[in-house]
Chains A and B, each alone.
Chain A
Amino acid sequence: MATKSGRTIIATKERSWKTRLLRWESFLILIFILVNIMNASISPNYLSVSGLFTATSSFLEKAFIVLPMAYVLILGEIDISVGSTVALSAVIMSIAFGKGVPMGAALIICLLVGACCGLVNGLILTRFTELAPMIVTLGTQILFRGIAEILLGDQASGGLTTVTWFSNLYWGSIGPVPYMFIIFIICAVIFGLVLHKTTYGRRLYAIGSNRIASQYAGVSVQRIRLSVYILTGLFSAVTAIFLAARMGSTRSNIASGYEMEAISMVVLGGISSAGGKGNFPGAIISIFIIGFLRYGLGLINVSSQVMLVIIGALLVIAVMIPNLNLGRYFKRSRKQEA
C-alpha cells in the first residue's frame, strides 16, 4: 500500500543502484556538483580550500534555522517568525551583556529567549488548533521584531568584539575549517538521525501525513507540535549567537528575510510544504547548493538583482520539473496541492 510518506510500508525496499540514483537527493547532489563546476570555471579564485570554507561562513549561520524548519515543514506547518526571533534573542543578549552580565550567561539568556519565542508560537497554535500556523507566525513575526525595536530603538548594542572567545565562535577555525562548520555538521547529523531513526521522527511524519489519524493512533500531537516550535525558537537563538559574533554588535533590524531563505532551502531539499514527506539530507545538500551558488555568483560580481531571479527560478523549476506529467513515474507520487 503506497502512502504519501517518504517510506513505503512494504517490507522489502528496492535498493538497486538505479533507484538510489534517481532519488531526489541524487538529483540535488548532481546540481551541487554542477554549481561547483560552473563556479570554478568562471572564477579562478573559487577553488581554494580556505576560500570555500570562508564561503560557508556566510551562509551557515542561517542554516541553523533550516534544521528545525525541516521538522516544521514535515509537520505540514510553517513558521515565518524565525527572523524576528533571531533579532529579539540577539538584542536581549547584547543588552544583557551591555549591562554587565558575563558573556557565557548572556549566551544562555539568548537561548532561553529564543525558546520562549518558540513557546509563544507553540502555545497559541496548540491551544487554538483551528488557527493556521502561517497567520499566527505572521503576527508573532511582527510582534517579536516590534519588541526588539522597543528595546533598542535605533541604537546598536555593541562591544561584543571585546570578548574574543565569542568572536571566535564565528571567526575562528581549526586549520581551514571554521568552528561554525563543525558545530553545524554535528547538529545536522543529530537532527537527521532523530528524524529518520527515532520514534519521535516517525511521529513527525505521521502527524504531517494525517494529523487526525495520528491523534487517534495515540500520538500526542499537540505536545510534539509544541516541542517542534520550541526547537525552532531555540535554534533561531543559535543563529542569533553566530550572527552577533559575526558583526560584533546587534540592531533590531537584523535577520530580516531569513525565514523565506530557510523555507526555500528546505523545499528545494525535497521536503514538501504539505507535510509528511521528504528526507533530511536533501535539505542539507540544498543549503550548500544555494550557499555556494550565491558565493560563486558573488565572486564574479553578478548583481544582487540577477541573483534574485536565478535563485527564484531555481526554486520554482526544481520543484516543478518532477511534477510535469513525469511525476507518475517518480518513486514518490506527489499528490496535487490546491
Chain B
Amino acid sequence: MKKRVLAVLLCVAMTSALLFGCGGSSDDSTGDSGTGESTAADGNAEAGGGTYALITKASGNPYNEKEAAGFEEAVAELGGTAIVKHPEKATAEDQITMINELVAQGVDSIAIAGNDFDALQPALTAAMEKGIKVSSVDSNVNTDSRQTFVNQAGNNEIGQTLMDAVLDISGGEGQWAILSATSQAANQNAWIESMKKVMEDDKYADLELVEVAYGDDEYQKSVDQTQALLQKYPDLKVICAPTTVGIMAAAKVLQDEGLSGTVKLTGLGLPSEMADYIGDDDDHSCPYMYLWNPIDVGYLSAYTSAALVSGDITGAGGETFSAGKLGEYTITEANDGGTEIIVGPPFKFDSSNIDEWKSVY
C-alpha cells in the first residue's frame, strides 16, 4: 500500500519537475541571436516597443534561421520584443495552430512565410479582425489574408535572371531541366511560371525545358530526382534548381558522377552550402548562382511590421517607409492583385566572391 502511494507521489514529482524544468529552460533553447524571445510575463505590448511575431516555413532550415536572425536584429533596433516560431513540419496546419497561439498572446503583428497560399486565410483574417497587423514574407499568402507581402526579389526579376543564366551557361541552346522543391510551394511555382513566360521570347527559342522535377526540399529525394534526370536525358546541358536544398543535392551528384564538365548547374542557393561546388572549371558543377540575403529579408519584414503597427503605412501601393539600415522602401503592386515590398535584386555568387560570403550565410 505504501509503495503504491510512493509510486504515485514519485510520478507526480517527476512529472512536475520535468514540466517546470522545461518551462524554465525554454528561453535559451530557441533562437540563436539572443535578442530574446518574450517570456510570458512581458508577452503583452509594452509602451516603448511592440511585440512582433514571425512564423517561418519550417524548423531546422538554415535559410529560415537566418531570416529569423535578421528579424530579431531589426526588432532589437526598434526596441520591441520579437517572437519567432518555427513549425516542426512545413505544413499549414502547424502554422494555423501557431497563429492561434500568437493571437491568444495578444501580439501586435504577425509576419508569416506561408506554407500554403490559401489555407491560412481563415486564421489570418481572424487575427486581422482582432487588430493584429498581418504581412507575409518569403512565401506568399492570398490577398485576403495579408496587408502586404515582403518579397525577397521580384518574381519577374528572378525568372528573368535565372533564364538568362541558363541561356548563358548552356551556350544558347540545348536541353535543360528544373529541379524544384515541393509542388505546393507558392514561391517556387511563381518563379517557375515566370521563367516559362520569359522563355517565350525568341531569344530562348533554342532552349528546351524537358522536365520539372520535385525534390520536396528533401536531400535524398533531390538526389534521386537529379540522378533520374541525368539518366533520362543524356543530352542535358543545364539544371536549374531554384531551391537551396535542391541545388546542393544536384551539385554534389554532378561532381560525384564526374559530370561537372558536361552538365552545369545554376539556381538559388546558400553560399555556405554551395561553397565547395562553385567554380569556373570542370571540377565544379556550378559556375554561378543567385540568392539574396535572408538576413535582410527578415530585417525588412520586421520594419514592415513595425511600420504597419505604428500606422506609418497601411499596406496600400505607393506608400513609403524607412527600414533602418536598408534605407527607404516603396510598396508596389504585386501580380496577384495585392501589394508587395521587394527587398532588392538577386545577388550573384560566383568563384570571385564565394569565399567571402560562405561564412556570412
Contact = CB atoms under 8 A, between A and B. Distances in A.
A and B touch in the complex (CB under 8 A): yes
Interface of A: 22, 27, 30-31, 34-35, 38, 42-45, 48, 51, 54-55, 57-58, 153-154, 156, 158, 161, 167, 171, 243, 246-249, 251, 253-257, 293-295, 297-310, 313-314, 317-318, 321-322, 326, 329-330
Contact of A306 (B8, B22, B105): B22
Nearest to A298: B101
B38 interface: yes
Given A249-B118, A303-B30, A329-B4, A298 B97 contact: yes
Contacts of B7: 321-322, 326, 329-330
B59 A303 contact: yes
Contacts of A54: 100, 104
B87 interface: yes
A171 B121 CA distance: 12
Contacts of A30: 8, 12
14 contacts: A22-B8, A30-B12, A43-B43, A54-B104, A156-B119, A246-B123, A247-B119, A257-B89, A295-B101, A302-B29, A304-B85, A310-B18, A321-B14, A330-B7
Contacts of B126: 171
A321 B11 contact: yes
A317 B14 contact: yes
B98 interface: yes
A31 B15 contact: yes
Given A27-B8, A253-B91, A305-B88, A317 B18 contact: yes
Interface of B: 1, 3-8, 10-12, 14-16, 18-20, 22-23, 25-26, 29-30, 37-41, 43-44, 59-60, 83-89, 91-94, 96-98, 100-101, 104-106, 116-123, 126, 182-184, 189, 214
Given A246-B123, A300-B43, A308-B88, 4 more contacts: A22-B5, A42-B39, A243-B93, A304-B88
Contact of A304 (B15, B86, B118, B121): B86
B101 A299 contact: yes
- Chain B interface helix/strand/loop/mixed: helix
B290 to A, nearest CB: 24
B10 A248 contact: no
Q: Is the interface of A mostly helix, strand, loop or mixed?
A: helix
Contact of A298 (B4, B98, B118, B123): B98
B217 to A, nearest CB: 12
Contacts of A34: 12, 15-16, 19
A158 B118 contact: yes
Contacts of A293: 19
Nearest to B7: A326
B116 A249 contact: yes
A171 B4 contact: no
B117 A156 contact: yes
Contacts of B10: 321
Contact of B184 (A156, A304, A307): A156
A321 B15 CA distance: 11
A45 B29 contact: no
Contacts of A243: 93
A254 B119 CA distance: 11
A330 to B, nearest CB: 7
B104 A51 contact: yes
Contacts of A158: 118-119
Max count, chain B CB within 10 A of own CB: residue among A251, A253, A301, A329:
A301
B30 A314 contact: no
A44 B60 CA distance: 29
A172 to B, nearest CB: 11
A248 B22 contact: no
A50 to B, nearest CB: 9
Contacts of A306: 22, 25-26, 29-30
Nearest to A35: B19
A34 to B, nearest CB: 6
Contact of A154 (B96, B123, B183): B183
What are the nearest 10 A-B pairs in CB distance? Answer: A154-B183, A247-B119, A304-B88, A303-B30, A43-B40, A298-B101, A302-B26, A326-B7, A58-B97, A249-B118
Given A42-B23, A154-B183, A302-B30, A55 B37 contact: no
A295 B86 CA distance: 15
A43 B105 CA distance: 9
